[in-house]
Amino acid sequence: MNVIAKKILITLGFLLIYRILAYVPVPGVNIDVIKEFFSGHQNDALGLLNMFSGNAVERMSIIALGVMPYITAPKLGELKKDSQGFQKYMQIIKYSTVAIGFIQAIGIAMGLTSMTGRGGVSAVMIDTTDFIILTAFSMVGGTMLLVWIGEQITQRGIGNGISLIIFAGIVSAIPSAIVGTLNLVDVGELSVIGLIFILLIIAATVSFIIYVELAERRVPVSYQRKVLMQNRFKRIMNYIPIKINLSGVIPPIFASAILMFPLTVLSGATNPILVNIRDFLNPNGFMFHIIEFVFVVFFAYFYASIVFNAKDIAENLKKQGGFIPGIRPGEQTKQFLNDVANKLTFWGALYLGLITVLPWVLVKLIGVNFYFGGTAVLIVVQVAIDTMRKIQAELQMQKYDTLSVTGL
């Protein structure tokens, strides 16, 4: 078995474990009541959160929190520059994940204690205090297990483990979404023309996402290399690729996680002020999506500034004897690259914001009775592209290793 096949099998094996965990409920919960509650929340942010988890939320699985606590943990970029700093960085991330997970899990548990289904059946079948303690520890344990699985996939498999876990959760919900849509057509709630319109919207959105994700600005770079045999200088041209969407899928995921955090904590609130805050952040409301759009744009700029470091690029170019034609090396190169990145990030942030609020626009303004997850499609497409690139890189590396062994 070659290395690529082994890594793919390892990745699939860990993803299978993840999907099995999605069917393990927290102790003492009445799953029927939870499913009844989520049946009325398919077209809002709770439905999106459920889809991200691969329907683990509506089953109240031990991994219902998913990797959201890990994603929302503080990112301290300066600590990652050396090995000791990186270890400290990972410790802070994991401790923060545990703290955030406990807060969210306790909020969910307290909300479930006041939830009832048809006939007044409670969502909790054991003592309230025991249930809160068991839920908190089991959910945090499930989240940390997912983090470990993600790390194993990254180190031993193919692709980014955390991204692939989110990817697998979304993809696993596609069959049920297709069946649900066909049922809407069957009962007459969605016309055939409406279904065709949805399919066209999906196809157009996927095509647009692929186009933008692959789009990049190529900044030309010139290198001076002396040709000793001819005793003269020869110019070698290259370029610096700068993507339109420098921040990737993190901004919409982070924005959704932040907005869902107070909703989770306040789910069982009875204080009038807290109830007003919860109602103000209603996932079906106008303000929720306005705030979400603003958050996505903000985090797009924030993460782009972390991912793209113009200062380091300018310094490396200067050390290697490279320069951008018409731009002086050093500070002017840094300023030029920052200007280019900022202009591209503006359009990238706008693109991410529109993709994020697209489902709400379709459901509320156009009247399409179908939750089309723009963020979900964005994640699926981008993770698929990233994974394919890494597989191609592995194949290319394996080809070089083979040539090295054979001496060709």
Alpha carbon separation from 260 to 65, 255, 267 (Å, rounded): 11, 9, 10
Three-state SS at 369: coil
What pLDDT sits at residue 43?
A: 53
Alpha carbon separation from 371 to 62, 181, 205, 352, 383 (Å, rounded): 26, 10, 14, 18, 21
pLDDT averaged over consecutive 10-residue blocks of the chain (408 residues)?
84 93 91 79 62 80 86 62 66 86 87 81 88 93 93 90 88 80 80 82 86 89 60 62 87 79 66 77 78 91 87 86 86 91 93 84 64 74 87 78 54
Which one, of 226, 27, 17, lies nearest residue 109 by Cα?
27
Burial of 235 (0-12, 13-18, 19+ CB in 10 A): exposed
Which one, of 37, 28, 111, 99, lies nearest residue 62 by Cα?
28
Contacts by residues 151-157 (CB-CB < 8 Å, ≥ 24 positions apart): 152/10, 152/14, 153/10, 153/11, 153/14, 153/15, 156/7, 156/10, 157/7, 157/8, 157/10, 157/11, 157/14
Three-state SS at 323: strand
How long, in residues, is the chain? Answer: 408
Which one, of 386, 311, 315, lies nearest residue 341 by Cα?
311
Q: How far apart are CA 168 and CA 364, in angstroms?
A: 28
State the virtual CA torsion across 122, 123, 128, 132 in degrees, nearest 10: -170
Angle at which helix 272-280 crosses helix 250-265, to 10 degrees, equals 150
* First CA to last CA distance, the chain: 23
Three-state SS at 54: coil
Q: How far apart are CA 161 and CA 177, in angstroms?
A: 24
